[in-house]
Structure 1
Amino acid sequence: MTIRERTEEIERMTLSPFAALSEDSSGRAVQEQPCPMRPCYQRDRDRIIHCKSFRRLKQKTQVFLSPEGDHYRTRLTHTLEVSQIARTIARSLRLNEDLTEAIALGHDLGHTPFGHAGERALNELCPEGFRHYLQSVRVADKLEKYPDGLNLTWEVLNGIACHTRGAEAATREGRIVKYADHIAYINHDIEDAITAGVLHPDALPKEAVRVLGKTKSQRITTLITSLVEHGGEEICMAPEIEAQYEALHDFMYSTVYVDKIAKKEEQKVERVIASLYDHYLQRTEEMPIQYQHIAEQEGQDRAVTDYISGMSDEFAIRAFETLFVPKSWSVY
């Protein structure tokens, strides 16, 4: 018996009947020889951590564009917080922690530079529209190690595709990640907004604070506990807890996410993204070779969208400056 087979046996003996067992995976698009040590979902997690798109998340905006300070969240720190919350829930419910972690770590691989402002800009420019969760699947399925992709299991790709509001993931592990994503971003965005001075703690909805807790830690604990206590056959919270979470969510979208101070730089994002998009649409030969191949096979708009969405904030700004900002020069 290999180490992997022993681990799969432990899964059968210890995990919930509702868990997605590694040995029952629907498999990969391209069949591979199983790893002698790692079950398939652990292998997927490792592939995601080692890929280039995952590393670029460290320089992609979460909410605040180009914040001054080291303590604001980036897309990478957000991803790690989602993973931690999701794993806690999965372990408590005896679900597959490897699958949960793989989905959580991969859920934002396709996110744009400049956060949701960049996503909105690309959605306007790309004829097919743009949704970061579908782009995350495309990154994993094709753009990483182009054109082969990471060849992840079906369950991981399904969880990534279904991590936002809308379609439910096929596995409970995928549904956990959707909740973990929401729990993480609302609470860390509150903390970042308070740090940035655009939100006072006393401004939070009083009933939500009473039910969920006054601090970030208290609120996250309350939400996780509710999911664990009510997470049997379905993944859900107690109605009162969910209602107050929604109240907190609505409050953030009506105040912080539209705050003039927090979002004052976003008006520039559309110009940066649109300028880069138009430039590379007319000059696809200036993009890296893999995107030139995509332009030939799937069209220029698809290639330019793939290229820009993969940029970090810093890279996009440097590209814009190189292309459109005049440089000083000397006459000798």
Structure 2
Amino acid sequence: MFVTLFCSSQIDKEAIDSQVNERKKKEQAEAESLKAYAADAVRNDKAACLLDQCQLKDERLLQGGIEDFRLNFQPRWSRREYDLSNPDKIRGQEGIQMLPGLVGEDPDSQGRLKKQQEQLREWSVQQQHELTTARHQQRQEEQQHDQDRVDLDNKALQLQKIEEERRRTVALATKNFNLTKAAENAEKRWKEWQQQEEDNRTDILNQLQGELLRESQEQGISVLGLPRLRPDSYKGLTDEQLRHIINCQQQQIDEKRRIQAEQQQEELQQDRFRVASARTALLMERQQARINKQVRRTQDNTNAQLAEAHHEQKKYLEKVYTNIPDDSYFSQFNTSSR
């Protein structure tokens, strides 16, 4: 049941049917195109035949008119070639009236004229017979041509049917081949899947039963000696190795704690020194501020005394020097070149 489902799931029957339908539609379109082309060819051939018939009919009518004109208006006795020694002999004798029995009279003219008329009648009948024969032969040729065209069209249709049948056979064979190939591929994939599953189960069983998953520590020792180990079969440390590692780790922890205690003691001393330094700096800063304040106070008093003395001196000078020079005093200088 599983094989059947697996195979059916691998064959895309809808896609194959779609391809077959598309091929059939394409063949049908090609057949319709060929039929249309054949119909156009037949129609063109018929039109060409009708044109040929009309042209031949016009030529026959023209030829018949020419022959009638020659029979009625160009008799043999009126031609220049009728008497090579004297072409105008008959034409010159048309108006001459001669008595019977005279010299130069043709006693057998009536018989000769009758023979000429009979000969002309025979020629006319012969020409009509030849014309009828030619027309009959032309009709036979046209009928044979039409029959040949019909035979060619029938042969073309027959060849088209044979080609369509061949294409259908090829399409059916292709479809059967594709179905067979798809079934073979599905069967092949199914067998490959089964083989892969069997290989996987065998591999899992070998892994479970092998030495790789066992917890024996002896298999990790190399054949070259105890210091060497096998990385592919290493199962962990022994109890002695674990105790040694734990002791080393404990020693490292104690050493680290001692170093941390020393660092904390050193940091505490540094903090105390920084606090003392800050306190000393603060006291010195306050003392400097008091000194600066006292210096500023002394300087302010000195400046006030100097300002008062300057003010008193200015008042004294204003009392002593009453005649202040103006512009007229300065304008008297540099009035000449000497």
Name the structure where helix makes up a greater proportion of residues.
2
TM-score, normalized by length of structure 2?
0.17
Q: Which has the larger radius of gyration?
A: 2
Q: Could you state the TM-score of these two structures normalised by the residue count of structure 1? A: 0.17
